[in-house]
Structure formats: C-alpha cells, structure tokens
Chain A
Amino acid sequence: MFDFKNKLFRYFLQAVNYSIFMWLIWFLSTSPSYRQLADDEAVLTISFAHAGEIREPCHKRTQKELMKLSPNMRAPMDCTRERSPIIIEVLLDGAPMYTHTAEAPGLFKDSGVDIYHSVKVSAGRHNLAIKMDDSVLKEGFNHSFNQDIDINPAQILLIGFEFGQGFVIK
C-alpha cells in the first residue's frame, strides 16, 4: 500500500521517535545534576541513642506498704520504670542551632530516645556547645560539651554520646 518514498518517510519518523526516546533517557538518567552541598560547606550531625534516667529514685517499701501487696509481689524495693525526658540545646558559634525535648517513648515511657539532627555549616573552625539534661532529679543540664572544631569541606562531622564519656567527636 505504501510506495517506497512513503515507507522511507515512515522510517524517518520512527528514527525521530526513537531519538526522542533515547534523548529522554540520556538526559534524565543523570541530569540535571543535583548539588547537595556548596563547595565550602560541610555537615554537622548530632546522632546518638540515649535513655534518660529513671524519673523517681527507688524507695524502700515500709512494712505497711508491703502488707498491702499480694504475697508474691512483696519486693522490698519499689522502682518505677518511667524515664526522664531528654532536653538538648546546641549552640554553634554562640547561636542556637538546635533545641529539642524528647519524651521517653514506649507505653510506660521507659525506652531510650534517638536524637538525630543534621545541619549544613560552612567549612572551617567553629565553636560547638552542647548541653543535655537527662534527669528530672538533677538540677539543670547535667551533661555538657564545649569545643572548637575544625571541619573540612564535604566532611560529615559526627557528634555522638557515649555512656561514661559524654559527648564525643566520632
């Protein structure tokens, strides 16, 4: 039904279509490129898991209290499981960078908290101050960190919290 010229024209149109198809894949498979960070930027990440302290101190049950309990429940010490919320404040070069209060999760508010916060900063030297309050029993912030840090372009500087050591640069 189609003469040669017509058929040739068709192949030409097909070539056009395939070219559009190829171009679309060519382009979108890598472009436009995506810039996450400027050349002189770096990332400061505070990330750790930590459980707040138990809200109330254990208390020794009196004889009267013990008698109220069924015989199999008569433990001499009464310890609640609820933990304190974690309050964290981060200052970068004196300016507030991150403030967060995390209630202990879980049905009985007895689980640990995951803190994750990540910001872009300019590379170079910064002063980093972190304060954390993880106990309602102790007055004020009971953990702190204050240090000048050097951070290279594109570096992810990770600040963690280790039991016994406090805040650490990883």
Chain B
Amino acid sequence: MRENPVLINPIKRAYLALESWFNMSFGTEWNPMYHLGTLTFFLFWIILVTGLYLFGIFHGSIDGAYDSVEYITHEQWYIAGVMRSLHRYASDAAIITILLHLFKEFAAGRYHGFRWFSWVSGLPILWLVVTLGITGYWLVWDELAQYVAIGSARLLDSLPIFSSSMTSNFLQGQMTDRFFILIEFLHLLGQPLILFFLLWLHVKRLSNVDINPPRGLAIGTLLALLVLSFIKPAVSHGPADLSSMPTVLQLDWFYLNAYPLMDYWSEGKTWILATLITVILMLLPWIPPKKDGPAAVVDLAHCNGCELCFDDCPFEAISVQARTDGAKYEKEVVVDPALCASCGICMGSCPSSNPFRQANEELKTGIDLPDLPVDKVRTMTKEAVLAMTGSANILMVGCDHGFNVNQLDNNETKGVKLRCSGMIPPTLVEYALKNGADGVMVVGCRHNDCFYRFGNLWVEKRFSGERKPILRGRADRRRIKVFGGAETDKTSIEKELKVFRNELLVINEQIAPSDQVDGKELSDV
C-alpha cells in the first residue's frame, strides 16, 4: 500500500518542502496548504457578495452592459469599482487555490483508493470554475469579451453539435443579443447553482467538513485582495465592435489561456489537449490501482452503542441504528465497507479497545480492523517495550503515512507502526508505560495534516482530555509526547526524541528505585 516511490517521491518531496516553508511562515494552524479547500470556499463567498453588489448596477443588455461597467469602474470607483476588482481578483485567486489543492492532494497521495470519489468529483469543479470565469469576462462586452465570444463560438463550431455556424452568426450580428442573455443567465444563476451542487457532492463523503478557513488566514487573504484592488483596479478594454478585431489584449491568463492556444494551434487540437488532460486526471486514481485494507468490522458483543466511533470516523463510513442483537443497549453501529478507508481510527475510539482487558486471551473490541486488530497492536506494543534495554526507553508509535518510526529502532527506542496514529486508544499508552516503557512518543503525520484527516488531532485531544475516550488522570503526562512528522522530517524528530529522552532521564532519577520495580512488575498484566 505504499506509494509508488519512483513516481511520487520527487513530487511529494517538493510538496513537503513547500508545506514546511508555509509552516515556518504561518505556523501549522494557519498554513494555507492545510486550508486550500476552505480558502477556495472563502473566495467564493467574496465572489458571491461582490457579484451581488455588481448585479445591482449592471445593465444586462448588449447595449447597456459596457456603459454600466464603465460607470461601476470610474464613477463609483470607491465602492463598485473596488467590488469589481475584488470580484475579479478573488476569482483569479480561486484558480491558484484550486490548482494548489489539486497538486497537494496528488502529491500527498490523497487521490486514489477510497479517495477516488473526492478526486473525481473535484475535477468538474475546476472546469466549471473556468467556464464561470469565461462567461464573466463575456458580460463586460468589451473587446476582450468580443475575443472571448468569437473564440468560444469557434470552439463550439469545431464540435459536431450545432448545425449552423455560431461564428458566422456572431460576425453578422445575429444571435449576439440572444446569446448575451443566455450567457448572463449562465453566469448569474446556472453555473453558480451547478457549482454549489458539485461542491456539496465533493465533500459528501467526508465528515466534520469545515468550509471556513482560520480567521487569520481569511483576513490576510481579504486584505491582500483589497490592497490589490486599490493599487490595480480592474478595468475594461474598449467597447466591443464586431466589425473590427482588437489588436492587443490584456488577457486574464488564469481563465482565458485556451484562446491564444487555439489561435496558435487550432480548435481541434485545443479540444484534444483539454480532453486528454481531463481523461488522464480522471483516471489517475486507478493508475496504478490502489487497494485499501479491508473495511472495519463491528463486533456487537463488545459494543455498547456509545457512538464514539461514529463521531470520530473521518469518512462518513459509520452510521448508528437501533440495536439488532437484543442486548440491553439502545443503539449499535454499522460500517459501510464502500466508504471505509480502513484507517482504524474507530478502533482507537472504542472504549472496548482497552489492552488491560482480556489479559490472557485474545483482545476483542467493538470495532476493529481485520488486518491489524487491536489484539495484534497490543502484542506489538508489548514486544517492543520488552525488547528495550536502555536507561530511558522510548516507545515510538507511528503510522504508515508519516515518518517511518522503525528507522530509529535501537536498544532504547522501538517503533510500532500503525495505519494511523488515530488508532491509538489512550489506554494503550498507559499499557506501554505500565509494561516498562519510560516514555511514549506518538509520531503521526505533521500536525493538521493527517493522511486520514483527523487521526493525529483526535489523539492530541484524547490525551488532553478534550475528546473521548480520554487519557486517564493517573497516566504520567510527562512521559507522553505527541510530535508529528513527515518522511522527510528525520532530523527534527531525532532532535525531539533526544530532548524527550533527557527529560525522561531526569524524571527517572527523581523516582526511587523501588517505584520503578513496581512499574515493571505489572508487565504481565
């Protein structure tokens, strides 16, 4: 299940480097790479609000459009003009955030397997946004709009859909009016409605979806766009005139790049390129195919219907229903295998995943991963702890997607690799400490960048008592550390490990030797 190392590594490395740069500048909470989807939503709100304002002044006819936009830009520059600029620049910014979002999901390997749906439903959004920009530029009915209109007509004419040539009709001044109304309808209503539907679809398989970026990031983005609107207000070209061809155009390359390509190549080749890119991107989740592990399985004999797993599942794979096995509890949970990412986070949420239970038999829990069950996790943990012989032994619990903890294995450090750090029930940490580990360091993905969305976050919250199941009071907090890191973060993790070990040595010294023996005694639990 590892990524194809040849294909992914340079891209992933580039992405991780970019992410590190942003972490350095913004911190992990405001890192824009962690909020590209929500940032795009935020830009859409800006576009919607400014668009509504402009709609109030805009004249929606081919004769009035240009003049009304001129009025917006020059007469009422201080409000309407700024609104226009914001409308344009937020749209441009959305292309940047969408492309970065696409790049990030690809580079981080978050596009195949169970994520095919998010990926495939994202692509039409990109195209829709581009066409939304195109109709937007059309409405100004200046020379640029004329270029866009004729270019679009040529693009459509090259397809065997329409019987009569739109380009001819345009040039002869027929249809231009009727078409303008159609474009207006599309831009103001049709396309935005489809967009919102697609966005809803896009995040449908995710739970706890946040659509608002952190406030600091939102304010920063809005300010940047506002400043830009004042120093470079958006302006129109000369009015459209179908009897002459505008010589020089100030193109918006975010949206209108296909048209010069078409001038340079041909309509047909432009279509072929666009289709090729789309098909390749669409098929990407299946080249090569990726199989997730088997779906989580519920064992009602150990489930009390507490719904903690339901709350924690990041992919809407768990639902709650009325009890079916006659047990005294009201509810039970079911897993939809088609949605399950096999992340194991639910196993970590289940109060039954307590390694102190069923000490001498196979440990069973309410919800578990068939290929990495809690019993195996307990065994791996115990073996790792007992294998260490140093004076400050640290158990590192890592995951399949962040830093590979086994890289640092030695006589005083041992790694246990789970699928996701969210698989860790807090009682497992207590168990490791009781069995003789001097410290437990949880190394999931980078903070706020969990491959399974929330694994590392839930662990932090369970440990800090903010989220059930919580780490109990008797666990020694000083011996527990959470520190996320990616494949490329070996240096900083080693540094953190060293600091932690020194702290543990000090703590160990403070404790009387008899206490220590007491701790080791429990290793048979």
Contact = CB atoms under 8 A, between A and B. Distances in A.
22 contacts: A10-B24, A10-B27, A13-B24, A14-B25, A14-B220, A18-B221, A21-B93, A22-B225, A22-B227, A31-B253, A32-B253, A33-B249, A36-B147, A36-B263, A47-B165, A49-B165, A112-B164, A116-B157, A154-B247, A155-B245, A156-B245, A160-B172
Contact of B93 (A14, A25, A34, A111): A25
B11 interface: no
Contact of A114 (B168, B225, B242): B168
A160 B254 CA distance: 36
Interface in B321-359: none
Interface in B244-269: 244-254, 260, 263
Nearest to A31: B250
A122 interface: no
Centre residue among B25, B223, B263 by max chain A CB count within 10 A: B25
Contact of B251 (A24, A34, A156): A34
B129 to A, nearest CB: 15
Contacts of B263: 36
Contacts, number: 119
Given A25-B254, A38-B247, A47-B172, 12 more contacts: A10-B25, A14-B220, A21-B224, A22-B224, A25-B93, A34-B260, A36-B245, A36-B248, A36-B263, A47-B167, A49-B168, A170-B172
Nearest to B256: A34
Given A47-B167, A49-B164, A160-B172, A37 B247 contact: yes
A37 B165 contact: no
A18 B216 CA distance: 13
A88 B158 CA distance: 20
B311 interface: no
Interface of B is mostly: helix
Interface in B207-227: 220-221, 223-225, 227
A18 B243 contact: no
A30 B144 CA distance: 11
Interface string A40-74: 01110101110000000000000000000000000
A29 interface: yes
Interface string A147-160: 00000111110101
A30 B250 contact: yes
B228 interface: yes
Interface residues of B, number: 44
- Give the dominant DSSP class at A's interface: mixed
A16 interface: yes
Contacts of A152: 244
B165 A156 contact: no
Interface residues of A, number: 43
A157 B247 CA distance: 15
B22 interface: yes
Most buried by A among B167, B228, B245, B253: B245
A27 to B, nearest CB: 9
B164 A158 contact: no
B88 A29 contact: yes
Contacts of A45: 171
A114 B260 CA distance: 24
A107 interface: no
B114 interface: no
Contacts of A16: 25
Contact of A33 (B24, B221, B245, B251): B251
A93 B513 CA distance: 106
Contacts of A170: 172
Nearest to A16: B25
Contacts of B163: 105, 111
Given A30-B250, A116-B165, A154 B96 contact: no
